[in-house]
C-alpha cells in the first residue's frame, strides 16, 4: 500500500509539472464549452438547448484526452527514457505501476468533469436531470475503458512522438464517429455501422440519456455491453503486451 501511495504521489507531481497536459486537460475542454455554448446558444437540438446536448460529448472528449492520449504518451515517454527499465529492477510490481496511473488519471477525469459541469451550469444554465451518481458510474466505466485502451496503445510504440501520432489517429475517429459533437442519426448509414461498435457512441448515448432525459439504469443498460466489451478486451491486451522497455 505504501508503494502504491508513493507511486500516486509521484504521478501527481509529474502531471502538475506538465503545462501542456494541464492546458489540454482543463483549459481546452472549458474553451470548447464556451465556443459551442456561444455558437449554438440560441439553437435547440431534439427539443433541447444545443449546449445541453453537447456538454456530455465535451465531457467524453476531455475524458479521452486524459485516459487515452495523456496516459499513452506519458507511458511511452517514460519507457523511452529508460525509466521503466530501471523500475523493473526494483521491487515495484507491474500492477502497482498501472494502478498508480489509473488512480491519478481517474481523479483528474473527475475533477475535469466537475469543472465542465459547473462551467455549463453557471454560464449556460445546463444541469444533469437524472441521477448524478449513475452519471458518475457510467463515466467511471468509460474512464477505465479508455485507460485500458491507452495502456494497450502505449505498448505498440517506441517513443513519445509515435505515441502521440497513434493516439491522435485513434482519438479523432472515436470522437467524431462516436457522436461527441452531433446527432448520429445525421450520419450516412455506412458510417453509422462503424459508429455502432465504438465505445464512444454508447458512452455518449448513456450519458446524454441520464443528463438530458433523466434516464435511469433500465434505459441505459443496452449501451453498457459494448463499453464493457471494450474494457475487458483492452484490459487483456494491455496486460498481455505490457513491457518494461
**How many domains does one find in the chain?**
1
Q: Is residue 24 part of a domain?
A: yes
State if pTM tops 0.85: yes
Q: Is residue 144 part of a domain?
A: yes
Interval 44-60 mean pLDDT: 86
pLDDT in tens, 86-108: 766 666 676 777 787 888 889 99
Exposure b/e, 43-66, CB count within 10 A at least 16 = b: eeeeebbbbbbbbbbbbbbbbbbb
Q: How far apart are CA 46 and CA 48, in angstroms?
A: 6
Q: Is residue 109 part of a domain?
A: yes
Q: Which of 19-23, 48-52, 165-169, 199-203 has the highest mean pLDDT?
A: 199-203
157 pLDDT tier (thresholds 50, 70, 90): confident
Q: The domain containing residue 64 runs over which residues?
A: 2-240
Residue 186's CB: how many other CB atoms inside 10 A?
A: 8
Q: Is residue 245 part of a domain?
A: no
13, 86, 87 from 79: Cα distances, Å: 18, 10, 10
Amino acid at each position: 500500500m505504501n508503494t502504491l501511495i508513493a507511486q500516486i504521489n509521484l504521478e501527481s507531481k509529474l502531471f502538475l509539472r506538465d503545462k501542456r497536459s494541464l492546458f489540454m486537460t482543463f483549459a481546452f475542454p472549458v474553451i470548447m464549452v464556451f465556443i459551442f455554448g456561444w455558437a449554438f446558444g440560441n439553437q435547440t437540438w431534439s427539443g433541447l438547448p444545443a449546449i445541453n446536448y453537447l456538454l456530455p460529448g465535451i465531457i467524453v472528449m476531455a475524458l479521452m484526452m486524459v485516459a487515452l492520449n495523456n496516459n499513452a504518451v506519458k507511458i511511452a515517454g517514460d519507457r523511452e527514457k529508460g525509466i521503466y527499465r530501471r523500475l523493473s529492477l526494483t521491487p515495484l510490481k507491474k500492477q502497482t505501476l498501472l494502478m498508480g496511473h489509473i488512480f491519478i488519471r481517474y481523479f483528474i477525469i473527475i475533477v475535469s468533469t466537475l469543472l465542465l459541469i459547473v462551467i455549463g451550469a453557471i454560464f449556460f444554465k445546463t444541469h444533469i436531470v437524472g441521477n448524478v451518481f449513475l452519471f458518475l458510474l457510467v463515466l467511471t466505466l468509460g474512464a477505465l475503458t479508455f485507460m485500458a485502451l491507452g495502456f494497450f496503445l502505449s505498448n505498440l510504440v517506441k517513443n513519445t512522438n509515435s505515441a502521440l501520432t497513434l493516439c491522435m489517429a485513434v482519438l479523432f475517429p472515436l470522437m467524431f464517429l462516436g457522436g461527441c459533437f452531433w446527432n448520429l442519426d445525421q450520419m450516412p448509414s455506412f458510417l453509422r455501422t462503424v459508429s455502432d461498435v465504438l465505445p464512444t457512441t454508447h458512452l455518449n448515448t448513456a450519458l446524454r440519456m441520464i443528463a438530458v432525459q433523466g434516464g435511469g439504469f433500465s434505459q441505459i443498460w443496452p449501451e453498457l455491453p459494448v463499453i464493457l466489451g471494450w474494457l475487458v478486451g483492452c484490459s487483456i491486451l494491455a496486460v498481455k503486451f505490457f513491457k518494461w522497455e
